[in-house]
Structures are given as C-alpha cells and as structure tokens.
C-alpha cells in the first residue's frame, strides 16, 4: 500500500486562502501564514459590518422621517406616536422612502397622525 502525503490537499487549502486574500497589500496577499491572519480578520470585520449596516440604515431612516415630520410641525417621536395611534402600520424603511420620494403622501400620513393625536388628547 502506498503512502499518502497531504500535498494536494494542503495546496488546495492554501490556494483557497490566497484567493480570498487577493487585493491585499504586501505579503498578506501571497504569504500563506500572513494571508490566513488577514483573511480571518477580514471575516471578523465583515461579520461586524453586517450588523452595523442594519444600525446605520435604521438611523438614516429615522433622520429622514424626522426631517419630513418637522416640515409638518411635528417631532419624530410625536409623529411616530401619532401614526401608531392612527393604526398606520408602516415601518421606518417605507416611511423614509415615502418622505424622500412622495411629499404629498407623507403630508396625508402626517395629517392622519396629527388627527389621531388630537383625538387621543
């Protein structure tokens, strides 16, 4: 029985890491040991970035809604309370899109929110 050496498997494993490190600066792109570290760290940054993206978009949507709500004489928190009282089930992403693209529709939503607030008070 012949002895199996791990050359082909090792080479494939190394090639996979080097391929992921393509575009990195210096030895990080072609030296396996440093490439492993760089690729692992890049994976950590990517994982964190996927969480931060959700955070950043929510903050952007809130800013857009707040700006549009203030044009109609309300603060963000007051506006959101008003649409909840009015029974309008639109999430922040959709509200921000309406605020940015369709001022007339947002004005109608703002009127409904204001009416619901007056009714509740």
How far is residue 4's CA from residue 106's CA, in Å, rounded to a whole number?
70
With 0.85 as the threshold, say if the pTM is over it.
Answer: no
* b/e per residue 2-11 (b: at least 16 CB within 10 A): eeeeeeeeee
Residue 112 and residue 88 in contact, taking contact as beta carbons nearer than 8 Å: yes
Q: What is the Cα–Cα distance from 81 to 86, expressed in whole angstroms? A: 9
| List of residues 6+ apart from 58 with CB closer than 8 A | 92
Domains in the chain: ranges and CATH: 8-120 (1.10.1900.20)
Model confidence pLDDT, tens digit, residues 65-118: 999 999 999 999 999 999 999 999 999 999 999 999 999 999 999 999 999 999
Neighbours of 53 (CB within 10 A): 10
How many angstroms separate the CA atoms of 78 and 24, rounded? Answer: 48
- Number of H helices and E strands in the chain, helices first, is 5, 0
Q: How many residues does the chain have?
A: 121
Give per-residue pLDDT as tens, 27-80: 999 999 999 999 999 999 999 999 999 999 999 999 999 999 999 999 999 999
């Amino acid at each position: 029985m012949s002895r199996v050496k791990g050359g082909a498997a090792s080479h494939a494993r190394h090639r996979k890491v080097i391929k992921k490190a393509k575009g990195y600066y210096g030895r990080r792109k072609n030296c396996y040991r440093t490439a492993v570290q760089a690729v692992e760290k890049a994976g950590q940054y990517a994982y964190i970035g996927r969480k931060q993206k959700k955070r950043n978009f929510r903050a952007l949507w809130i800013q857009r809604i707040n700006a549009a709500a203030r044009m109609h004489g309300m603060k963000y928190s007051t506006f959101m309370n008003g649409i909840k009282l009015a029974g309008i089930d639109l999430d922040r992403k959709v509200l921000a899109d309406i605020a940015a693209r369709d001022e007339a529709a947002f004005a109608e939503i703002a009127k409904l929110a204001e009416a619901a607030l007056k009714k509740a008070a």
